[in-house]
Amino acid sequence: MSLRDNFSNRAHLSDNHASFLLLLIAFVDAAGRGLFLAGATFFYTQVVGLSNVQVGIGLALAGLCGLICTVPIGRLADRFGAARVLAVLQVWRMLGFLIYPFVNEFHTFLLIACFIGCVEQAVWPIIQTLVGSAVKADAYVKTMSKVAIVRNVAYMLAAGVFSIVVSFSSSPDAVIGLLIANAVAFLISAVLLVTARLPQAATKEPVESPLPTPPTHPLKNLNFLSLSLCNGILSLHQAVMTVAVPLWLLTKTQAPKALIGIILVVNGIMAITLQLTFSKRGNEVIHAARKHLYAGITLALSCALVALTTAGQPSYLAAGILLFACVVMTFGELWQCAGAWGISYALSPAENRAYYLSVYALGANLMTVIFPGILPIAVVENGSTGWIGLGIVFALAGIATPLLVRSANRQNARAAANGMDTSGAQA
């Protein structure tokens, strides 16, 4: 075997080792978080004794804290290293969930929810940054797809564990035990991040259709911020699937209530089995932008299908249309995720990657904080008109993304050709 072949094999093993560690860390993190998410409503209302309004206020303020802190934490990750900062965030979350069992009234709940919320939204961009540093550029979207699959599997397993636990015991001690398990998972994740020898920088290899070096200040780049907003709009599929569709099914149609669970299971299975397929060629930024175009079109189509269901339809017909609409919506979800990974990576220079990815995540985080409370009013209560309006918004976001990416390509290419400093340039 030649020296070159030996070096190539070692590099391949290193990439596989890094990918395995990243997937393990993602699984442990999601498994712990999933245990809490499954039982969060039960804990808030049955253990602490909060009202629905109090829970909503607490979670909204926690989300606002996350929006404020995400970008500064991203900048810290660029300065001190993604793995190191993520380990600190996991310890932070562990402490928060260890304190949660001692919460017994609204004000302490509000304090701890905001304490945890300060770092929650920063975790995913830093995981993306860690993937970008640990694997080769042409393996980035594929690895992100695997991370997403592993996390979905962990969430589903955690939901199953929660169901088993509460079926045997719904006492506060059982739920508090899940909180502690969540905290332990964060601790394990932090230990793995500290002890694992992940590569600090990705191998510099060219990828097809790369964008020239982008500006160094994404918050001053209207093109980048517009792409973040478009991604945020397209990422609304999650709130639509978990909030708007169930409310529509229960209040506006004759479809059986059990269909809600079936829809979520079908969505989860599709996300696990099809994500890699939908992510192919995602490293090519133009193809990533097209994936967002496909996402916008399919999400719009799914909204149009939901709009076709009415209270006067037979239950089997409404159920069939809604199930098909959610299958189409899941296609949009898969394209949106793959497109977002490819676009954000291509537009993020290695030296400021966490900063860029944190800013890119603002669009999705903003929608997550604001729209779950708006969708029932703006869409569900407005009937078919509301769904058609949402579909138009999805379509416009999908159409705009390739145009914005091409504009960014031209802008940065002109700046590079003229030898200009593009810091803070506007699209």
Q: CA 63, CA 367: separation in Å to the nearest integer?
A: 10
Helix axes 106-134, 82-99, angle to 10 degrees: 160
Look up residue 138 and give its amino acid: D
Look up residue 51 and give its amino acid: S
Q: How confident is the model at residue 377 (pLDDT cuts 50, 70, 90)?
A: confident
Contact (CB, 8 A) for 135 and 19 = yes
Q: List, for residues 270-307, the tens digit of each pLDDT value.
A: 999 999 999 998 888 899 999 999 999 999 999 999 99
Contact (CB, 8 A) for 342 and 305 = no
What are residue 57's phi and psi, to 5 degrees? -65, -45
Give me 373's structure tokens. Answer: 């409370």
Q: List, for residues 53-102, the tens digit of each pLDDT value.
A: 888 888 889 999 999 999 999 999 999 989 999 999 999 999 999 998 88
Residue carrying the six token digits 């940065």: 412
According to CATH, the topology of domain 218-418 is: Growth Hormone; Chain: A; (1.20.1250)
Q: List, for residues 328-375, the tens digit of each pLDDT value.
A: 999 999 999 999 999 999 888 888 899 999 999 999 999 988 887 788
Within 13 Å of residue 337, how many CA atoms lie on the same side as its CB? 29
Domain ranges of the chain: 8-195, 218-418
Q: List, for residues 191-238, the tens digit of each pLDDT value.
A: 988 887 765 544 444 444 444 555 558 888 889 999 999 999 999 999
Q: Kind and range of the H or E element at 171? A: none
CA nearest neighbour of 56 among 68, 67, 47, 45: 45
Start-end of H helices in 236-314: 237-239, 245-252, 259-278, 285-307
**What would be the CATH architecture of the domain defined by 8-195?**
Up-down Bundle (1.20)
Radius of gyration of the chain (CA): 22
pLDDT reported for residue 207 = 44
- The mean pLDDT value of the chain amounts to 85
Q: List, for residues 88-139, the tens digit of each pLDDT value.
A: 999 999 999 999 888 888 999 999 999 999 999 999 999 999 988 888 888 8
Tell me the whole-structure pTM to 2 decimals: 0.84
Greatest Cα-to-Cα distance within the chain, rounded to the nearest angstrom: 73
Q: CA 29, CA 411: separation in Å to the nearest integer?
A: 39
Q: CA 113, CA 100: separation in Å to the nearest integer?
A: 9
Q: How many residues can be counted in the chain? A: 427
Contact (CB, 8 A) for 119 and 67 = no
Q: How confident is the model at residue 327 (pLDDT cuts 50, 70, 90)?
A: very high
Phi-psi region of 49 (alpha: psi -120 to 50; beta: other; left: phi over 0): left
Contact (CB, 8 A) for 196 and 28 = no
Look up residue 6 and give its amino acid: N
pLDDT reported for residue 4 = 46
Give me 297's structure tokens. Answer: 């079109």
Decide whether 8-195 matches 218-418 in CATH topology.
Answer: yes
